Homo-oligomer: A and B are copies of this chain.
Amino acid sequence: MSGKLTVVGTGPGNPDQTTPEATAAIAAAHVFFGYGPYLDRLTLRPDQRRVASDNREELARAKDALHTAASGEQVCVVSGGDPGVFAMAAAICEAIEAGPPAWRAVDLAIVPGVTAMLAVAARAGAPLGHDFCAISLSDNLKPWTVIEARLRAVASAGLVIALYNPISKARPWQLGTAFAILREVLPWTTPVIFGRAAGRPDEAMTIVTLAEADATKADMATCVIIGSPETRIIEREGLPPLIYSPRGVKA
């Protein structure tokens, strides 16, 4: 007997930004796996059980969830944002590929959500209005040399950059080094957005130039968006500025 495994993205953290599809998937499940703070956002019924784990235990969590689903349970793995963007969907796939044949037979569904960079962009204007990329700054699972090469490549090519996992206690220097690399490639006037907890009560949006960008202003809940050379700032009297990347690139 095989149960069901649904990997759900709850969005940036504001319940109004959780899709009805995600809400329905949560209501239908009985066992919940996830990083504690993401599980804390759910309001569960007495018949629903939660299994919280640390945010660095993604693969172990994925295996536990697959094992439980394969035993016949209705399982939900909870991600913030979108589960396919630096979140649990890839860990689940890795576990399936390396796991027993029964895990491939599990009824698997992935429910998309609003990922952090979209929520941050919406609060700032339209910084992702043209070609852009999303790069994780965590060097836990990839060499820093790869990250550095990617930053140079995408900035040189004119893409706007959204940085996920910019900084943590265990990774204190990477964001500052990333800004230093980008200052070698991009105009120092390029707008940089520190978007913290977009859409939540503790939201904080800070706009600076690349010259001013200070890595210590970011934390784990921050998505950092770095403009392209085309990205512009519109000042507005009595209102926050709008940051946007025009739809076109001049010849």
Contact, CB under 8 Å: A236 / B110: no
Closest B residue to A234 by beta carbon equals B97
Asked if A104 and B142 make an inter-chain contact with CB atoms under 8 angstroms apart, the answer reads no
What CA separation (Å) do A54 and B237 show in the bound complex? 33
Chain B residues, Cβ within 8 Å of A19:
11, 16-19, 114
Scan residues 78-106 of chain A and give those whose CB is less than 8 A from a CB of chain B: 82-86, 89-94, 96-97, 104-105
Count of chain A residues with a beta carbon within 8 Å of a chain B beta carbon: 76
A247 to B59, CA, bound (A): 10
User: CB distance B150 to A245 under 8 Å?
Assistant: no
* Distance between Cα atoms of A157 and B149 in the complex (Å): 7
Q: Looking at chain A's contact residues, is the secondary structure mostly helix, strand, loop, or mixed?
A: mixed
- Complex: A86 Cα to B245 Cα, angstroms: 10
A3 within 8 A of B: no
Copies, count: 2
Taking CB as reference atom, which chain B residue is nearest A129? B90
- Give A116's nearest chain B residue, CB to CB: B112
Q: Given A94-B246, A133-B159, A141-B247, 9 more contacts at CB 8 Å?
A: A16-B19, A17-B19, A89-B121, A90-B130, A93-B246, A97-B234, A105-B236, A128-B134, A150-B157
Which A residues fall within an 8 A CB radius of B?
Answer: 11, 14-21, 24, 58, 82-86, 89-94, 96-97, 104-105, 108, 110-115, 118-119, 121-123, 125-136, 140-143, 146, 149-150, 153-154, 156-159, 232, 234, 236-237, 239, 242, 244-249, 251
